[in-house]
Structure formats: C-alpha cells, structure tokens
Amino acid sequence: QALRQISQRTISTASRRQLENRVSENQKLFQEDNGLPVHLKGGVKDALLYRTTAGLTVCGTICALYYLLVSSLPKKPN
C-alpha cells in the first residue's frame, strides 16, 4: 500500500514538472502568414521529413512499375 502511494506520487510529480502547455506557441507558429504551407512550418525537421517521404514515394513507385513491367514480359526459354 505505502509503496504504491510512493510510486504514484513520484510518477505524478515528475510528469507534471516536465510537461508545459505550449499550445499557444504552436498556434502562433502555424497561424503566422509567412507564405509557407502548413506541412513545412515546423522548420528544418519538417522539410527533411517531407523530402524523405517524397523521395521514398518516388523510389517505391519506380520500383513497383519496374517489377510490374518485368513480370508482364514472357520468360525466355532456356
């Protein structure tokens, strides 16, 4: 019983200290009219994530089309 109370108290106080309410900061950032699309307003991290996703999508499409082409051709007899 006492151990449970101590562990709950430790967890609740530690999490309360670490978390801050940053909603208003994020609202200001994302509502700012700076000409950027919303998926790039987060900065360098968002731009890197966007470019990585776009690159992987293009590579995946090219690979899928290549294997579709290869599988649609008849096999050569030995």
Q: What is the mean pLDDT of residues 9-32?
A: 75
Per-residue pLDDT at 12? 57
Write down all domains in the chain, each with its CATH number in brackets. Answer: 36-77 (4.10.91.10)
Range 44-51, long-range pairs (CB < 8 A, 24+ positions): none
Mean pLDDT of the residues in the chain: 85
DSSP string, the chain: -HHHHHHHHHHHHHHHHH----HHHHHHHHH--SS--GGGTT-HHHHHHHHHHHHHHHHHHHHHHHHHHHHHSPPPP-
Total-model pTM: 0.59
Degrees, nearest 5: CA angle 65-60-73: 20
